[in-house]
Amino acid sequence: MVTKRIIPCLDVKNGRVVKGVNFEGLKDMADPVEMARYYNTAGADELVFYDITASVEGRTLFTDILRKVASEIFIPLTVGGGINTLEDFDRVLKCGADKVSVNSGAIKNPAIISAAAQRYGNQCVVLSADIKRVDGSFRLFAKGGRENTGIDALDWLEQGVRSGAGELVVNSIDTDGVKNGFDLELLDAVAQRCAVPIIASGGAGCREDFLELFRNHPAVDAGLAASIFHTKQVDIRELKQYLRQNGIEMRL
Amino acid sequence: MIAIVDYGVGNLFSLASSVKSLGAEVRVTHQAEDLRQATHILLPGVGAFADAAAKLQATGLVPVLREETQHTPLLGICLGMQLLFEKSYEYGEHQGLGLVPGQVCPLADDLKDPTLKVPHIGWNALDLTPAGEKDPLFKYIQNGEYVYYVHSYYAKNCASNTLATSEYSIPVTGAVRAGLVYGTQFHPEKSGDTGLRILRAFAEL
C-alpha cells in the first residue's frame, strides 16, 4: 500500500532557508541546496520549497537554487510562492519542479487552478490554503496568513478540487508554530469534503504528533513541517522508524 | 548515448539529470537520427493519453521507435509506459503503439477499496513477479523497495508481460516487458536511490 509521507518544507528568502513562528519573526536557518541534500539522505519522501522573496533578484536566485536541487536530488519537489500565472507554473516546472503549489494566486484568480490542471494535469496542481477559525468557522486567509478573505475555507477547498487541484496543503494558522500538534479538527473537516490527497501542515512539535495524525486520521496522507526538522528537534529517519514500529506504513 | 524522446509533453529536466548523474551521456531529442544512434531510448510522458499519443505521432518518430526497439532497449515511463500498450480508455478509446499487449483503464473503476484515493499518488512497494525477480532491470533491487507513483489510469490484461506490481487494493501494474521494450508506471527519476539503481540497470542492458 501507499505509504504516509513525511515532507520537510523549506521557506526560501534571498537564497536562504528561513522559517517563522506564526508567520512572523523570520530567522535565517541554512543553505537550501545543502538542506535538500541532507533531507534526501535523511529519508524525506518529498520536498516543498516556498519562495517568499518579493524582489526580481531574489526570484532569479530562487530558480537557480531550484535547478541545482532538481539536478541532484531525485525525489518529488513541490514549489510554491509567487505563483500567479501559467507563466509562473512554466518557470518553476522548467527548473525541475514536479508539482506547483498555488495559494494567494488562486485567491486573486481562481481560474488559474483549472487552467493549470488542463495544461499540466491535476497531479501537478497543489492547492495550499492558510486557514484560521473566525467566529467558530474556518476562514481562508491570504497574504501569508495576514488577511482574512471572508471566504469559507472548506467551500474554497472543495471548489478547488472540483476545478482540478490534485492535492491539498492544509495549513492551520491557529496551530502553526505552536508545536502542540496538527489541527486535527480542521483536517477531519477537510477530509469530509475533499477526496484528493491531504497534506497536513502547522503544529507538529514531536513524533507523537505524527503518530496521532496518521493513526487516528487515516484520510490524511502526509505531514509537513519546517523548523522541527531544520533544527533536528525531530529527526526524519528516527521519526519514520518510530511510525513504522507503531504500524504506520513508511518508506525506510 | 541514451536518447530521451522529446515530443513536447512534460518536463524532462529531472529525467535527464537523473540519467546524467549515473555518468551516462544523454541527449534530449526529437531527431530520428539520434534514436538510431542511441544505445538506449527513454520514452517519458505526463498528461493525458490522447494528447500525448497525437503529439508522438506528429513527430513522425513512431516507425523509428518500432524499428529501433528490435535491437535497442526502450523504457517508457508513466504515461510513456501507457503509450506502449494497445489501447487506452482515458476519456474515450485511443490507440497506443501496441508494443506491449494489454489496455490502459481507469483505476477508479477497479479498486476494491472505494475509500482509496485516485490519483494513486505516493510511494508504494514493488512486488516483483517471478519474471521480475530474474529480470536484469531489477538486478540492483530488492523485492519490496518503494517507488514513486502518480497516475489515475493503469495497465491491465498484461499479466504475462508484468515484471512488478504494487498493492492498492488491487495489484497495480508497476513494470512490464515485451522483448527489449520495458515500461514502468512509477517514476524511477523520482524514486530516490531505488529509482537510480533501476535506471543504472537499464543503462547496462
What DSSP designation does B96 have?
A: -
Q: CA geometry: angle at A83 spanning A86 and A170, to 5°?
A: 120
What parts of chain A have a pLDDT lower than 50? 21-26
Query: Which domains does chain A possess?
Result: 5-245 (3.20.20.70)
- Residue recorded with cell 501542515: A201
pLDDT at B197 over 60: yes
**pLDDT on residue A214:** 98
Strand ranges of the sheet holding B103-106, from the earlier edge strand across to the other edge: B94-95, B87-88, B103-106, B153-156
What is the grid cell recorded at A11?
521557506
| pTM, full prediction | 0.93
Contact A197 B14 (CB under 8 A): no
Active-site pick, A130, A183, A209, A221: A130
**pLDDT on residue A102:** 96
**pLDDT on residue A165:** 95
Side-chain half-sphere exposure of A118, counting CA atoms within 13 A: 7
Residues of B in contact with A39 (CB under 8 A): none
Closest CA to B147 of B170, B169, B173, B129: B173
Q: What CATH topology corresponds to B2-203?
A: Rossmann fold (3.40.50)
- C-alpha distance from residue A155 to each of A31, A103, A134, A140, A192 (Å): 38, 15, 15, 10, 12
What is the grid cell recorded at B76?
517508457
Q: Are B31 and B202 in contact (CB under 8 A)?
A: no
Which site among A41, A74, A224 would you substitute to test the B interface, given the most B Cβ atoms closer than 10 Å to its Cβ? A74
**pLDDT on residue A23:** 43
Residues of A in contact with B124 (CB under 8 A): 1-3
Cα–Cα distance measured from residue B94 to residue B87, given in angstroms and rounded to the nearest whole number? 6
Cα–Cα distance measured from residue A114 to residue A160, given in angstroms and rounded to the nearest whole number? 8
**pLDDT on residue A28:** 56
Q: What type of residue sits at position B87?
A: K
Q: How far is B62 from chain A (nearest CA, A)?
A: 24
ipTM computed for the complex:
0.91
**pLDDT on residue A52:** 86
Q: Are A72 and A37 in contact (CB under 8 A)?
A: yes
Catalytic residue numbers of B, as ranges: 78, 187, 189
First to last CA, chain A: 14
**pLDDT on residue A227:** 87
Q: Are A202 and A179 in contact (CB under 8 A)?
A: no
User: Residue B119 — very low, low, confident or very high, per pLDDT cuts 50/70/90?
Assistant: confident
Range from A28-37, B5-14, B45-54, B153-162 that averages highest in pLDDT: B153-162
What is the grid cell recorded at B121?
499518488
Q: Are B172 and B165 in contact (CB under 8 A)?
A: yes
Cα–Cα distance measured from residue A109 to residue A162, given in angstroms and rounded to the nearest whole number? 15
**How much is the average pLDDT of B121-138?**
97
**pLDDT on residue A22:** 44
**pLDDT on residue A29:** 56
**pLDDT on residue A47:** 97
**How much is the average pLDDT of B28-49?**
94
- C-alpha distance from residue A48 to each of A94, A104, B46, B193 (Å): 16, 17, 20, 19
Burial class of residue A221 in the structure, from the number of CB atoms within 10 Å of its CB (0-12 exposed, 13-18 middle, 19+ buried) = buried
Residue B76 falls in which region: left (phi positive, over 0), alpha (psi -120 to 50) or beta: beta
Q: For strands B40-43 and B2-5, give the pairing.
A: parallel
Other beta carbons less than 10 A from residue A141's beta carbon: 24
Residues of A in contact with B192 (CB under 8 A): 40, 74-75
3-state secondary structure labels for all residues of A14-59: CCEEECCECCECCCEEECHHHHHHHHHHHCCCCEEEEECCCCHHHH
Identify the contact set of chain B against chain A, taking CB-CB distances under 8 A: 11, 13-14, 17-18, 20-21, 46-48, 117, 119-125, 146, 148-152, 167-168, 189-192, 195-196
- Helices H, strands E: what count in chain A? 10, 12
Cα–Cα distance measured from residue B78 to residue B58, given in angstroms and rounded to the nearest whole number? 20
**pLDDT on residue B47:** 80
